[in-house]
Structure 1
Amino acid sequence: MNKPEAARRIIQWAIKLTQFNIEYHPRTAIKAQPFADFIAKSTILEEEGVTDDLERWTIQTNSSSIKKRGGVGVIIITLEGETLKYGVQLTFLAPNNEAEYEEVLTGLRVGKALGIKNLLLQSDSKLIVRQINGEFEAKEDKMKQYLRLAKLLTQEFDRVEFTQILRSQNMGADELEKWSSSKVGPSDTNLKIEVQTRPSTEEVPTFAIQIENSWMTPILSFLQDRRLSQDHEEARKVRKRAVRFTILNGTLYKRGFSMPYLKCVNKEEAKYILEEIHEGICGDHAGPRSLISKVIRTGYF
């Protein structure tokens, strides 16, 4: 700007641009926390959309229920188009709706055992598929237990889609469940039939998270069942805060922006952890901030 020629040109451009009412606003600094929240939300959306439909396994399920035994048939279609078969014989009394839930749970367990991340599960049960998708409501206590267990199992995958198909499109699984429930057994000698002696809902206490009335309760309720408080402001806070948490193998974890996942604990567990960390030759001299840093480095939140 020390040269008169350069200054004159800039003034000329400024005069010409005044007719467009252009205003200059300097870029403000980006605060760290909103930027971290934005990255966390964007990362979740990217993870949900990463898996391609071409890399999706397909599992078709069917079931039957009679007085003394029932059967579950599962057809697995791999990425290469290969077909695998799996059957389960139910030796306990299972009404029709419960048997249909057992077929879906069996399909999810098989998918988990095979290490599948992107799964399309097909069943000819309209009721079960729509309950899992949230279109129908489970009213009976038994159905609620089955629904909760199904949602817990779906968290083991990156992506799961439940669709209803016609019975005519499910003939392979239908034939397989008839073999599983019969006394004679399958004509295919290479097919192995598993025997299930009790309902899957009896395993819920060991599989589910032990929920107590703690700071984790609203977050767990939202992540597991999409339940929120009637208070709109409180519901908004829980929905916003739940983005930073996830459930892995039945345990609630805090997502870390620049650190590994932190296991969430209740008041009693936190007290025990603090006592354990505070013990030692320098325990009495540790300040609050130092103690909290040690807890986080240990892997708890």
Structure 2
Amino acid sequence: MSIGLGSVLLWEVYTDEASNRKGAGIGIVLITPEKLIMEKSLRLGFVATNNEAEYEALLAGAQMVRHLGGEIVELYYDSRLVVGQVNGEFEARDERMKKYLDRVKRVLGTFKSFKVRQILRGQNAHADSLAILATSLGSKLQRTVMVEDLMTSSFTGIPAVGVHSIHVGPSWMDPIVTFLQHGMLPEDKVEAEKVQRSAPHYWLSRERKLYKRSYSGPYLLYVHPEAVEPLLEELHEGICGSHTGEDC
């Protein structure tokens, strides 16, 4: 289901869910009309199937925009089933899925206009990583990330919220990030030359995320070294365990 967009005040939302033996989590990447990027991880404090978690992700993203005053929104998700049900292409047969679908339609109906689009899983890596983060608080990233506990489903009341801060130490990426952001080089001449030679191969986003430039494909996001092992564990035993296919 969609309504045409007639304004430039567009909010974009990318959502995803992850589930493994540690629980389920939701990742949300919100882009404001001013092109500011907001990130959120939600850890589910209740038992939910993959489909239920997918609907919770879509609901959480839409409600986040609504709470911030957005009136025109495009939501991107990689679940063909959920997007198809919301857009009326597929029928929701399970009673609980019907309730979720009805809830989503009522929330989206509060916007002046909206669209729900399906994207490839590879195009949704940012939200995917936040969803994985919510299920593995031991992971470490380059910045402080807000992780909330969603203690009840959308049908049983207002969720209780807890906030956690995640920090990391220095890494090999720091000199490159500092040079790209501030133009400052290490005092050691050899190290300074290495940074200058390497810098053109990287790109730093406004959120201080370091990417490897690519001329034939998408830019590659670098993950802090201390986060690599937990992230690989989640990819092999977590989200890809329940989303088999080419993208995994």
Task: State whether TM-score is above 0.5.
Answer: yes
Report runs of 4+ in structure 1 exceeding 6 Å deviation: none
Task: Select the structure with the greater relative contact order (CA < 8 A; seq sep ≥ 6).
Answer: 2
1:49–1:148 CA distance, 2 compared to 1 (3 A):
closer
Per-residue CA distance 1:55-109 (angstroms, 9 max, x = gap): 2110000001234521100001111222110110012111111110110010011
SS at match of 1:202: coil
Q: Quick check: which one's helix share is greater?
A: 1
Please give the alpha-carbon distance, in whole angstroms, between the structure 2 residues aligned to 1:186 and 1:110: 25
SS at match of 1:199: coil
Query: Hey, what does 1:123 align to over in structure 2?
Result: 77
SS at match of 2:76: strand
SS at match of 2:74: strand
**Alignment equivalent of 2:10, drawn from 56, 60, 78:** 56
- The answer to whether the 8 Å contact 2:17/2:53 transfers is yes
Q: Residues 177-216 of structure 1 correspond to what in structure 2 (within 5 A)? A: 177-184=131-138, 187-203=141-157
Which 5+ residue runs of structure 1 have no aligned equivalent?
1-47, 205-301
Per-residue CA distance 1:30-79 (angstroms, 9 max, x = gap): xxxxxxxxxxxxxxxxxx76732x32110000001234521100001111
Query: Hey, what does 2:106 align to over in structure 1?
Result: 152
Please give the alpha-carbon distance, in whole angstroms, between the structure 2 residues aligned to 1:98 and 1:175: 19
Supply the AA of the counterpart residue of 1:195.
D
State TM-score, norm by structure 1: 0.49
Query: Hey, what does 1:83 align to over in structure 2?
Result: 37
Supply the AA of the counterpart residue of 2:156.
E
Instruction: Say whether residues 1:169 and 2:141 are aligned partners.
Output: no
Please give the alpha-carbon distance, in whole angstroms, between the structure 1 residues aligned to 2:74 and 2:46: 28
Which 5+ residue runs of structure 2 have no aligned equivalent?
159-248
Supply the AA of the counterpart residue of 1:57.
W
- The answer to whether the 8 Å contact 1:105/1:150 transfers is yes
Instruction: Say whether residues 1:96 and 2:44 are aligned partners.
Output: no
How many residue pairs get matched? 156
1:126 offset after TM fit, Å?
0.5
State TM-score, norm by structure 2: 0.59
1:161–1:50 CA distance, 2 compared to 1 (3 A):
closer
Query: Hey, what does 2:66 align to over in structure 1?
Result: 112
SS at match of 2:57: helix
SS at match of 1:200: coil
1:168 offset after TM fit, Å?
0.8
Q: Quick check: which one's strand share is greater?
A: 2
Q: Percent of pairs identical after alignment?
A: 35
Please give the alpha-carbon distance, in whole angstroms, between the structure 2 residues aligned to 1:76 and 1:141: 30
1:148 offset after TM fit, Å?
0.9
